[in-house]
């Protein structure tokens, strides 16, 4: 499924990377989403040159999510591979992901590791900016369904353009939905919440291009503020969180914002914990900021490491492990 709007300069390369897959038994769904004339011309050329290419037209002004849902609903195959119109799939991508899903019947979907490339104004390939470089490093550190589920509140644990999803799982979840945050992150969080497993092919199978025009840069749904709202929404729905309440490990900006969002959902905030002497003794939302040594043993609270730096997350992990906490069960990291 490859939706495109204003992608005349990149769609040819993206689609050809799919057509040149070692797994030849596939259909390429090019979804016209209020597409520009130049983009439509590229689509028509591709469809005219290869019978595996099919063009779908989303209703005018219906929006990106409607286009995505049109794609999976019209797809003939039982596996749905996603990609954007400015990315590039490696030749073995589809074959490796089909093998992954065929070999692991318990998986509802799988992604792959990615290489993030920044596309300059003249189309040149540049190293990613630091935030994307950090995301690539973290994303490519996830290698199992367990690590994906346990760390899902740090960031989106799959690069959506690298995803392959069973059509039956897509149908079970009702496809993508319109929400206040990113539709793909919402989809992965709903999938895991429903008890479905998400796997990974631990190989780089996709070049994921970042540019100034990308939706992640220009649409508020993909902002850090909206992502934090999604994290709080799904954290607040966990039974263990509602039963035990939470202790926030980190009394900085992320911890404060997260606590406010969780409190709005009726989640009890037991305390904040920090290693910064300047913060210890303060009161936030009526709760004390205690030293890290005051963290209780597992079973009394759910602990949330609410920090943005990976090194700080690792320090929190080291402190909570001896107390009996298990990441993904009663301890979560949020960034």
For 19, phi and psi rounded to 5 degrees? -70, -25
Burial (CB count within 10 angstroms: exposed 0-12, middle 13-18, buried 19+), residue 313: buried
Tell me: the pLDDT tens digits for 318-335? 999 999 999 999 999 999
Percentage of the chain beyond pLDDT 70 is 98
**Helical spans, DSSP H, in the chain:** 11-19, 37-49, 64-74, 93-103, 130-139, 145-150, 167-173, 183-193, 215-218, 224-235, 239-244, 253-264, 310-320
For 226, phi and psi rounded to 5 degrees? -70, -40
Beta-bridged to residue 55, according to DSSP, are: 30
Q: Return the CATH architecture of domain 2-224.
A: Alpha-Beta Complex (3.90)
Does 236-334 match 2-224 at the fold level? no
Tell me: the pLDDT tens digits for 273-298? 999 999 999 999 999 999 999 999 99
Percentage of the chain beyond pLDDT 90 is 93
List all residues 6 or more positions away from 125 whose beta carbon is below 8 Å from its beta carbon.
117, 118, 119
The yes or no reply on domain 236-334 and CATH 3.30.450.40 is: no
Distance CA(57)–CA(51), nearest Å, equals 17
pLDDT for 213 beyond 80 = no
- Domain boundaries of the chain, sorted by first residue: 2-224, 236-334
Closest CA to 288 of 251, 325, 242, 236: 251
Two tokens, residue 120: 């300059």
């Amino acid at each position: 499924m490859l939706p495109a709007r204003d992608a005349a300069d990149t769609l040819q390369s993206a689609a050809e990377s799919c057509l040149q897959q070692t797994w030849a038994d596939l259909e390429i769904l090019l979804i016209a989403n209020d597409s520009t004339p130049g983009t439509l011309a590229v689509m028509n050329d591709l469809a005219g040159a290869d019978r595996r290419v099919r063009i779908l037209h989303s209703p005018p002004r219906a929006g990106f999510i409607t286009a995505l849902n049109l794609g999976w609903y019209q797809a003939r195959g039982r596996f749905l591979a996603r990609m954007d119109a400015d990315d590039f799939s490696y030749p073995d991508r589809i074959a490796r992901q089909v093998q992954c899903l065929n070999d692991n019947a318990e998986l509802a979907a799988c992604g792959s590791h990615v290489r993030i490339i920044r596309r300059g104004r003249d189309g040149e390939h540049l190293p990613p900016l630091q935030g994307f470089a950090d995301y690539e490093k973290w994303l490519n550190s996830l290698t199992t369904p367990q690590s994906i589920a346990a760390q899902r509140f740090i960031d989106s644990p799959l690069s959506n353009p690298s995803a392959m999803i069973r059509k039956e799982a897509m149908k079970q979840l009702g496809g993508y939905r319109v929400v206040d945050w990113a539709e793909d992150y919402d989809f992965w969080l709903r999938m895991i919440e429903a008890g479905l497993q998400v796997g990974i092919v631990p190989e780089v199978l996709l070049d994921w291009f970042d540019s100034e025009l990308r939706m992640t840069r220009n649409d508020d749904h993909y902002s850090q503020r909206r992502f934090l709202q999604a994290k709080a929404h799904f954290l607040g729905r966990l039974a263990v969180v509602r039963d035990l309440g939470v202790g926030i490990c980190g009394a900085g900006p992320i911890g404060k914002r997260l606590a406010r969002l969780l409190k709005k959902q009726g989640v009890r905030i037991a305390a904040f914990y920090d290693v910064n002497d300047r913060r210890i003794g303060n009161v936030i939302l009526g709760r004390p900021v205690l030293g890290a040594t005051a963290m209780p043993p597992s079973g009394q609270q759910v602990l949330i490491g609410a920090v943005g730096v990976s090194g700080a997350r690792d320090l929190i992990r080291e402190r909570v492990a001896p107390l009996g906490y298990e990441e993904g069960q009663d301890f979560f990291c949020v960034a």
